[in-house]
Chains A and B, each alone.
Chain A
Amino acid sequence: MGQELYAALSGAYTSLRRLDTVATNLANANTTAYKGQRLTLEATGADGAYARIAEGLYDHSDGALQSTDHPTDVALQGPGWLAVDDGDGMLLTRDGRLRPAPDGTLTAPGGRPVLGQNGTIVVPPGETVRIESDGTVVASESGVLDRLRLVQADASPLGGNLWTPDGPVLDAPEGELALVPGALEGSNVDPMRAMVELVEASRTFEAFQKAMQASDESDQRLNELGRS
């Protein structure tokens, strides 16, 4: 048994995980503000003969805008996030389907309050609310309630269109992050590219299977040599 068998196995394993990643991307081709993911590999082992997964990289490019005309839908364009209150910490999202909860608190998808400059935003009872392009939240009678807090940070996905910040959360500099009211950001998964990745991952897996078979065959020959 040579090490090439295990080298091929590490390659086969990583190709299957790439297949899983493509599957996740394609399943989320219609998920609001979804960011496509890909895996990077690195060489490992004494002579770098094995492959292993190094990192999951997210494509943070903007998804296409989808107009909804809903007064409290917002889409972000550019790098950054909406800040979401998570009790003692902060979560991030780009899914701008903001809705008032029964008590009037403006919430992000999943029901956690979205943060404004002065903390959570509460819509007075019986009033309708809309969000303007500078992020101000305006109630039908009380007028301006607050302005949405836009932030920038490195983050990892948590699910439910929420992300956990990996480092410090900073307020987004003026002009870098635009807010489009009455629209939502689509998924940035490109189905064409995902299909190419799917084909590539399956073919690579097949190639490693062939390598494993070849390694098996040469071991078999070696055994036969010993017998004659």
Chain B
Amino acid sequence: MRALYVAASGMSAQQTRIDTVANNLANTSTTAFKKSRGAFQDTFYQELATGSRGTRADLGGGVQLAGLEKDHTMGSMRETGNPLDVALEGPGMITVVGVDGRDYYTRDGAFRLDSEGQLVTAAGLHVAGDIVIPEDTETLSIAQDGTVSAVIAGDTQPTVLGQLEIVTFTNPSGLQAEGGNLYSATVSSGDAVLDYDNQTLVNQAQLEGSNVDVAEELIELVMAQRSYELNSKVVQAADEAMQVATNLRR
């Protein structure tokens, strides 16, 4: 019974959808979280019969997951009043250096200072560019191009301390989510390219919210549950058909 296996593939696809919704919903208030969506495609086809006039009938093998893709649309911006917070407007990402020394990319701009005054992420990873904020800084400003400057006590003119390394990717959907709001470049995303022409603007004292829309997720959940049920009905029908066939011989 082909139908049994086909329905099983359908149920497994719907299960993936439900798992994805669960993860999205769990991250509705995660800074700069990007929701995921499963992309599905049909599997192989097998020739079933050829009609008398040369017409053909193929039978499909079910459904498979083509990939889980991050939706990189922007989340909503909210003011925080913290001069160390930044939100990105546009496709770019901020480069940070991981504990393994490799570059990672994030849109979570909830930065703070470590014990040496260096700009770090909430998890304590160094922001690329080794930006150190002097202790006697009076006002800190981060310009829209990512330049960090400070007015130091006693000075009247601001001193440039460094610049956030804003990068873009040819295919952001191909970035690998590493957890902790970090992403890493993959073969699929392409290499990070410095955002020379400022496609991305840096907004100080703001943070980007999650782009998960709760209502949309709930609809997705309902649809996935119903589709799961429909596929389970096929399992039932195939099972009954087998029972009927078995009862041929009494």
Residues of B within 8 A of A (CB): 1-4, 6-7, 9-10, 13-14, 17, 37, 39-45, 48-49, 51-53, 55-63, 66, 69, 71, 73, 91, 168, 170-171, 173-174, 187-188, 190-191, 193-194, 197, 199, 223-224, 226-227, 230-231, 233-234, 237-238, 240-241, 244-245, 247-248, 250
* B172 CB, min distance to chain A CBs, angstroms: 8
Q: Given A19-B237, A31-B42, A126-B170, decide whether A160 and B48 contact each other with a Cβ distance below 8 A.
A: no
Residue ID in chain B nearest A159 by CB atoms: B44
CA distance A37 to B57 in the complex (A): 10
Asked if B199 and A140 sit within 8 Å, CB to CB, the answer is yes
Asked if A123 and B3 sit within 8 Å, CB to CB, the answer is no
Interface stretch of the complex, out of A53-61, A81-89, A143-151, A169-177:
A53-61
Asked if A30 and B17 sit within 8 Å, CB to CB, the answer is yes
- Contact partners of A158 in chain B: CB under 8 A: 45
Number of CB contacts from chain A to chain B under 8 A: 203
> Does A28 belong to the interface (CB within 8 Å)?
yes
Cβ contacts A97-130/B at 8 Å (1 or 0 each): 1011110100001100000000000010111110
Asked if A99 and B173 sit within 8 Å, CB to CB, the answer is yes
* B70 CB, min distance to chain A CBs, angstroms: 10
CA distance A222 to B7 in the complex (A): 43
- Contact partners of B3 in chain A: CB under 8 A: 16, 19-20, 22-23
- Contact partners of B1 in chain A: CB under 8 A: 16, 20
- Contact partners of B226 in chain A: CB under 8 A: 191
Asked if B60 and A28 sit within 8 Å, CB to CB, the answer is yes
Asked if B231 and A26 sit within 8 Å, CB to CB, the answer is yes
Cβ contacts A27-50/B at 8 Å (1 or 0 each): 111111010010110101000000
- Contact partners of A28 in chain B: CB under 8 A: 10, 40, 42, 60, 62-63
Residue ID in chain A nearest B234 by CB atoms: A23
- Contact partners of A205 in chain B: CB under 8 A: 241, 244
